[in-house]
C-alpha cells in the first residue's frame, strides 16, 4: 500500500504539528510505501518572502528527518522538485466545477483571517488533488479539518475517469486517526502559530523551560490546596510525553494538594525535554552534515519524478496530449 503526506513549510515546528502529522506519518513507514513531500508550492499562497520560503523548506526537511523519517524506507522530496504536479493540476482544473471550489471551507477561513484572496488560494484543492493522484496513492492520512480536500480529490479523479476512461486515476482512501491527541496550546486554545500559543519541538533549553513556566496558563489555587484536573493544560500536555504511571502520579498529586503549579510545570518540562532527546541528537548531526539533506531530497525527487512520469504519461495520452 502506498501512503502520501505533505506538510507546508510554514515556520518552526511545534508539538501540535508533531502529534497531528509528523508522528503518525513516521509510524506509517512501517506499514507500506510512504511518499512524503514538503508543500512549498502551497506555501506560496500565504508567503511572499523568497528567503523565508527557502529557509522554511530546508528547516522542515531537517526537522522531519530528525523526527524519524527514514529516507531508506520512504520517498522524501520537495513539491517544487516535481514540476509534473502543476501540469496535472491544470488538467484536473478542466473538469473541476467552480462550485466544488466555492464550497471548500479552507479558502473561506483563510480569507476571513485576512489572507489576501488570489487564484492559487482558491484553486488550492486542485493542486492538492494533483499532489495525491500523481503518485497513485492508495491512502492519505488527513485530519478531520482536511477531509473535505480529499473528498475533492476523489471527486476530480472520478470525473477524470468518467470522462477519459475508467481506472485512469486511482481513488485514494482517507486515513483518519480518531485517536490522535488534541494538542492544546499553552493558553488552552488549539495549538496554532496564529494564536501565538505553541510549544516548539526544538529550541534552546533555557528558553523553552522559561516558555513553559511563564506561558502555560493555570488558575490561582493555593499551593496547599488540591488542584483541579478538569481542563488542566499542564495535565493535557504532560499526558503527551509521560508514561501512564507518570501521568497517574501527577493526577494524584493534583488531588492531594501540597504541590504548586511551579513544580508541575517543572515536571512537564523535564518530561517534554526527555521525550525529544533522540530527535535533538539526530537534528544536531543533520545540521552538521548539510550535504545529507541535499542528497536525501535529490534522491527523493528523482524517485518521485519517476512515479509521477508514469501517471502523467497515462493521463496525457488519455486526454489527447500524447503524440500517439
- Give which of 84, 69, 92 is closest to 149, Cα–Cα: 92
The residue annotated as part of the active site, out of 31, 144, 190, 210, is: 190
113 an active-site residue? no
> What is the pLDDT, as a whole number, of residue 111?
80
- State the burial class of residue 201 (Cβ atoms within 10 Å of its Cβ: 0-12, 13-18, 19+): buried
> What is the pLDDT, as a whole number, of residue 145?
65
> What is the pLDDT, as a whole number, of residue 181?
58
Q: Identify the DSSP state of 18.
A: I
Q: Which residues are registered as beta bridge partners of 175?
A: 141
31 an active-site residue? no
> What is the pLDDT, as a whole number, of residue 18?
95
> What is the pLDDT, as a whole number, of residue 115?
80
Q: What is the DSSP string of 213-232?
A: HHHS------TTS----TT-
Structural domains present in the chain: 2-182+290-319 (3.40.50.620), 203-275 (1.10.240.10)
> What is the pLDDT, as a whole number, of residue 147?
77
Binned average pLDDT, 10 residues per bin, the chain of 324 residues: 93 93 91 96 90 96 97 97 97 94 82 83 93 96 76 96 95 77 88 92 97 96 95 96 97 97 98 98 98 98 98 96 70
Rounded to whole angstroms, what are the CA distances from 117 to 12, 106, 108, 122, 123? 25, 12, 9, 7, 11
110 an active-site residue? yes
Task: For residue 256, give every residue at least 6 positions away whose Cβ sits within 8 Å of its Cβ, in sequence order, or none.
Answer: 226
The residue annotated as part of the active site, out of 170, 193, 215, 239, is: 193
d(CA 156, CA 54): 31
How many residues does this entry show for the chain? 324
The pTM of the full predicted model, rounded to 2 decimals, is 0.92
The residue annotated as part of the active site, out of 110, 159, 170, 266, is: 110
3-state secondary structure of 253: helix
d(CA 97, CA 262): 56
Task: For residue 167, give every residue at least 6 positions away whose Cβ sits within 8 Å of its Cβ, in sequence order, or none.
Answer: 161
d(CA 210, CA 207): 5
Amino acid at each position: 500500500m502506498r501512503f502520501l503526506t505533505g506538510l507546508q513549510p510554514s515556520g518552526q515546528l511545534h508539538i501540535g504539528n508533531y502529534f497531528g502529522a509528523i508522528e503518525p506519518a513516521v509510524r506509517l513507514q512501517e506499514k507500506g510505501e510512504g511518499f512524503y513531500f514538503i508543500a512549498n508550492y502551497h506555501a506560496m499562497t500565504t508567503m511572499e518572502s523568497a528567503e523565508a520560503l527557502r529557509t522554511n523548506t530546508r528547516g522542515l526537511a531537517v526537522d522531519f528527518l530528525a523526527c524519524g523519517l527514514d529516507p531508506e524506507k520512504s520517498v522524501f522530496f520537495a513539491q517544487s522538485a516535481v514540476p509534473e504536479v502543476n501540469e496535472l493540476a491544470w488538467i484536473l482544473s478542466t473538469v473541476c466545477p467552480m462550485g466544488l471550489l466555492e464550497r471548500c471551507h479552507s479558502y473561506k477561513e483563510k480569507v476571513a483571517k485576512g489572507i489576501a484572496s488570489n487564484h492559487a488560494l482558491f484553486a488550492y484543492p486542485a493542486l492538492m488533488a494533483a499532489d495525491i493522484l500523481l503518485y497513485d496513492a492508495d491512502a492519505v492520512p488527513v485530519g478531520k479539518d482536511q477531509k473535505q480536500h480529499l473528498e475533492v480529490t476523489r471527486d476530480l479523479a472520478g470525473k477524470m475517469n468518467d470522462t477519459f476512461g475508467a481506472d485512469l486515476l486511482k481513488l485514494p482512501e482517507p486515513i483518519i486517526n480518531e485517536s490522535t491527541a488534541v494538542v492544546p496550546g499553552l493558553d488552552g486554545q488549539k495549538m496554532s502559530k496564529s494564536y501565538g500559543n505553541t510549544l516548539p519541538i526544538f529550541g534552546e533549553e533555557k528558553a523553552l523551560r522559561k516558555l513553559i513556566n511563564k506561558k502555560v496558563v493555570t488558575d490561582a489555587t493555593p499551593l496547599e490546596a488540591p488542584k483541579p484536573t478538569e481542563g488542566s493544560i499542564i495535565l493535557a500536555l504532560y499526558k503527551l510525553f509521560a508514561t501512564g504511571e507518570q501521568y497517574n502520579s501527577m493526577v494524584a498529586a493534583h488531588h492531594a494538594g501540597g504541590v504548586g503549579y511551579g513544580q508541575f510545570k517543572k515536571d512537564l518540562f523535564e518530561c517534554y525535554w526527555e521525550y525529544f532527546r533522540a530527535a535533538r541528537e539526530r537534528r544536531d548531526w543533520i545540521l552538521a552534515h548539510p550535504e545529507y539533506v541535499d542528497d536525501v531530497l535529490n534522491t527523493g525527487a528523482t524517485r518521485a519524478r519517476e512515479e509521477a512520469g508514469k501517471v502523467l504519461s497515462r493521463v496525457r495520452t488519455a486526454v489527447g496530449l500524447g503524440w500517439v
